[in-house]
Amino acid sequence: MSMVIKPSSDIRKNYNQIAEICRKEGVPVFLTRNGVGDTVIMDMETYNRREEDLAAAERLLAAERARVSGPQGHTVTEVAQNMEAAIARGGAHGDT
């Protein structure tokens, strides 16, 4: 993805051209003031896509944090004991 940088004065003079760059290339246009980054402009499709990507990343991060801080699961011994108990209970139900 290429980066487009324009002086902020271009927004007044060349709004249509800047908007067209945003729409056609699907990239944000970075505006500078006195040579320093000032504002970013992007078309709605790019903005919506980035918002969706950001929301998905936030959901993944929340899930990972919950996984890391949540219950740590069971040991192999605990799983084996639980399985044996379940099998024993199941076998008792099979007897009629």
Q: What is the pLDDT of residues 39-79, one digit of tens each?
A: 999 999 999 999 999 999 999 999 999 888 877 777 889 89
Query: What are residue 35's phi and psi, to 5 degrees?
Result: 80, 5
Q: How many CA atoms lie within 13 A of 43 on its CB side?
A: 14
Q: Is residue 50 part of a domain?
A: yes
Domain count, the chain: 1
Owning domain of residue 28: 4-68
Neighbours of 23 (CB within 10 A): 14
Q: Is residue 56 part of a domain?
A: yes
Q: Is residue 77 part of a domain?
A: no
The pair of structure tokens assigned to 47 is 């903005």
Task: Break the chain down into helix, strand, coil percent, rounded to 5.
Answer: 65, 15, 20
Q: How far is CA 42 from CA 6, 11, 35, 78, in A?
A: 13, 12, 20, 54
CATH number, domain with residue 11: 3.40.1620.10
Of all residues in the chain, the percent with pLDDT exceeding 70 is 93
Q: Is the model's pTM score more than 0.95?
A: no
Task: Report the pLDDT value the prediction gives residue 42, as an integer from 0 to 100.
Answer: 94
The pair of structure tokens assigned to 38 is 């000032």
